[in-house]
Structure 1
Amino acid sequence: MDKNDLMQLVTLKMPYGKYKDRLIADLPGHYLNWFAREGFPKSELGRLLQLMQEIDHNGLKELLQPLRSQTEARHD
């Protein structure tokens, strides 16, 4: 995991499904846990979903807040 992976979590949107167009970092825990049970996609998206599930499961979502602030500042 590196900073680029974390930046992708706060900038990349889910491309399909019930939570289409929601940032990966904003996906609900139950949805991420569903992927953990059923299997993550075999792709870059799957790797990022798995990373987000680990962050969420371990209660570390607040670590993404500084990165969110950076991306919001860029869009202002």
Structure 2
Amino acid sequence: MINQTNGIQPEILTALVTMRMPYGKYKGSVLCDIPEYYLVWMYQKGFPQGKLGMMLHTLYEIKLNGLEFLLKPLRKETFR
């Protein structure tokens, strides 16, 4: 989710490196590890409703725009 004044909310970025995919081909994978081609496929089919859909759509935008570097420091902190 994008905050009008500060860009992407930090809680969302943290969740992208900790939350796991609950179903499908990448069930159990940390969201940030889901490959871009799968996110593109989901974008074309339609993201699920609710928080998961918002998280996947945010991840899609991050990967599409080459902003994965935003997640790397958070991932290192999370998996120490």
> TM over 0.5, yes or no?
yes
Q: Which residue of 1 aligns with 2:66?
A: 59
CA distance in 2, matches of 1:8, 1:57: 18
What stretches of structure 1 move > 6 A for 4+ residues in a row? Answer: none
Q: Which residue of 1 aligns with 2:57?
A: 50
Higher helix share: 1
- Does the alignment pair 1:39 with 2:46? yes
Q: Which residue of 2 aligns with 1:2?
A: 9
Alignment size in residue pairs: 73
Read off the aligned partner of 1:63 and give its amino acid letter.
L
Q: TM-score, normalised by structure 1?
A: 0.92
Higher strand share: 2
The alpha carbon displacement at 1:42 in A equals 0.9
RMSD of aligned alpha carbons: 0.7
CA distance in 1, matches of 2:79, 2:37: 26
Task: Give the gaps of 5 or more residues in structure 2.
Answer: 1-7
| Other structure's SS at 1:11 match | coil
Task: Give the gaps of 5 or more residues in structure 1.
Answer: none
